[in-house]
Amino acid sequence: MEQDDRQGRRWYSISIFALSLGLVFFAASLTPSLIPRGWPLQGVLAGLVMALGYMIGRFLLALWRALQIPEPRGTWRLVGRAIVLAASLVLLVFCLSMWTEWQNSVRSRVNMELLEGGAVLAILVIGLVTFAVLFVIGALFQSAFDALRRRLYRVIPPRAANLLGLVIVLLVIFVASRDWVLPSAIEFLDETYETAQDLFETAPPAPTDAFIPGSRESLVSWEAMGQPGRNFVTGAPSAADIEAFSGVPAERPIRVYVGRSQDEDPKERAEIALQELIRLGAFDRKILLIASPTGTGWLDPGAHDTLEFMQNGDVATVAVQYSFLQSPLALIFETDTGLEQATATMNAVYHHWLTLPEDSRPELYMHGISLGAWSSMHSFNVFQMLDQPVAGAVWAGPPFPSYLWRQTVSARNEGTPYVLPIVDDGAVVRFSSQFRKPSQSGDAWGRIRINFLQYASDPIVFFEPNSGFREPEWMKEKPAPDVSPYLRFVPVVTQFQLALDMALSKALPAGFGHNYLARDYIDAWVAVSNPDDWSPVRTQALKDICNLGRDTGCAVE
Helix (H/G/I), strand (E/B), else coil: 254: strand
Instruction: Please report, to the nearest 10 degrees, the dihedral formed by the alpha carbons of residues 88, 94, 99, 105 taken in order.
Output: -120
Helix, strand, coil % in the chain, rounded to nearest 5? 55, 10, 40
Query: Is the pLDDT reported for residue 279 higher than 90?
Result: yes
Residue 392: predicted pLDDT:
95
Q: Do residues 409 and 470 touch, judged by C-beta distance below 8 A?
A: no
Confidence of residue 281 (pLDDT cuts 50, 70, 90): very high
Crossing angle between the packed helical segments 266-280 and 335-354, to the nearest 10 degrees? 40
Query: Would you list the domain boundaries of the chain?
Result: 16-191, 209-460+515-546
60, with CB counted inside 10 A (0-12, 13-18, 19+), is middle
Q: What pLDDT score does 295 carry?
A: 80
Say if CB 396 and CB 300 are below 8 A apart. Answer: yes
CA proximity to 213, closest of 225, 204, 198: 225
Task: Write down the pLDDT at residue 170.
Answer: 66
Measured CA to CA, the distance from residue 225 to residue 501 in angstroms comes to 31
CA angle 499, 500, 502 (to 5 degrees): 65
DSSP 442-490: -S---SSEEEEE--TT-HHHH--TTTTTS--GGGGSPPPTTS-TT----
**361-416 tens-digit pLDDT:** 999 999 999 999 999 999 998 888 888 999 999 999 999 999 999 999 999 999 99
pLDDT at 4: 39
Which distant-in-sequence residues (6+ apart) come within 8 Å of 257 by Cβ?
213, 220, 225, 229, 230, 232, 233, 273, 299, 318, 319, 320, 321
Q: How far apart are CA 414 and CA 124, in angstroms?
A: 44
pLDDT attached to residue 152? 76
Q: Does an H or E element contain 431, and which?
A: strand 429-432
Predicted confidence (pLDDT) per residue in 521-547, tens digit: 999 999 999 999 999 999 999 999 986
pLDDT value of residue 177 = 52
Report, as an integer, the average pLDDT of 487-500: 94
Give the chain's mean pLDDT: 87
Which residue has better confidence, 323 or 427?
427
Predicted confidence (pLDDT) per residue in 309-344, tens digit: 999 999 999 999 987 666 566 665 556 788 899 999
Q: Which residues contact 234 (CB under 8 A, 6 or more apart)?
A: 207, 212
Q: What is the pLDDT of residues 51-103, one digit of tens each?
A: 999 988 887 877 766 666 676 777 777 777 888 899 999 999 999 999 999 99
Rounded Cα distance between 557 and 550, Å, is 19
H-type alpha helices, 108-236: 120-152, 158-176, 182-196, 222-234
Spatial contact of 28 and 490, defined as CB atoms under 8 Å apart: yes
> Which one-letter amino acid corresponds to residue 75?
T
What DSSP letter does each residue of 59-74 carry, written as one string? Answer: HHHHHHHHTT-----H
- On whether the CB atoms of residues 349 and 318 are closer than 8 A, the answer is yes
Label residue 148 exposed, middle or buried (CB < 10 Å: 0-12, 13-18, 19+): middle
pLDDT digits (tens, 9 = 90+) for 296-313: 889 999 999 999 999 999
φ, ψ for residue 253 (rounded to 5)? -60, 145
Question: Confidence class of residue 2 from pLDDT cuts 50, 70 and 90?
Answer: very low
CA 372/CA 293 separation, integer angstroms: 5
Closest of 506, 496, 513 to residue 296, by C-alpha: 506
> Which residues have C-beta within 8 Å of that of residue 536, sequence separation ≥ 6?
none
The whole-number pLDDT of residue 387 equals 85
Q: Residue 472 has what pLDDT? A: 95
- What pLDDT, on a 0 to 100 scale, did the predictor assign at position 381? 87
505-512 mean pLDDT: 91
